[in-house]
């Protein structure tokens, strides 16, 4: 009888230790902060834009702007490069509609 009680005691200690070990592993996995990956931005210069502005006083007003875009990845830069003539045209139209005031 004493042998059976000793074996049950050893078995219960083993099960309790195993459950405690699983709990500690689970707690470490849950509370580990997420690792951040460093995203290096891609910069793309659109160049300089020079446009004449609308002026009510009939004076010549010129706007000179240089634009650099910050993109998320290289794929976006390649796509933008493919559509560059259309992008530049739309920016020129947008800037030329501005008033000097």
Looking at residue 29, its pLDDT comes to 66
**pLDDT band of 33, cuts 50, 70, 90:** low
Q: What's the whole-number mean pLDDT along residues 9-33?
A: 81
Segments making up each domain of the chain, as ranges: 1-36, 42-96
Please state, in angstroms and rounded to a whole number, the distance separating the CA atoms of residues 81 and 78.
Answer: 5
Mean pLDDT computed over every residue of the chain = 86
Looking at residue 55, its pLDDT comes to 80
Maximum Cα–Cα distance across the chain: 112
Say whether pLDDT at 30 is over 70. no
Up-side HSE of residue 45: CA atoms within 13 Å toward CB?
5
pTM comes to: 0.56
């Amino acid at each position: 009888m004493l042998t059976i009680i000793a074996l049950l005691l050893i078995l219960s200690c083993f099960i309790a230790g195993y459950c405690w070990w699983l709990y500690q592993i689970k707690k470490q996995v849950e509370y580990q902060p997420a690792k951040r990956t460093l995203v290096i931005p891609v910069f793309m210069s659109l160049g300089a834009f020079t446009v004449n502005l609308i002026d009510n006083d009939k004076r010549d007003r010129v706007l000179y702007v240089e634009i650099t875009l910050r993109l998320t990845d290289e794929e976006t830069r390649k796509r933008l490069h493919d559509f560059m003539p259309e992008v530049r045209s739309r920016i020129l139209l947008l800037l030329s509609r501005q008033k000097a005031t």
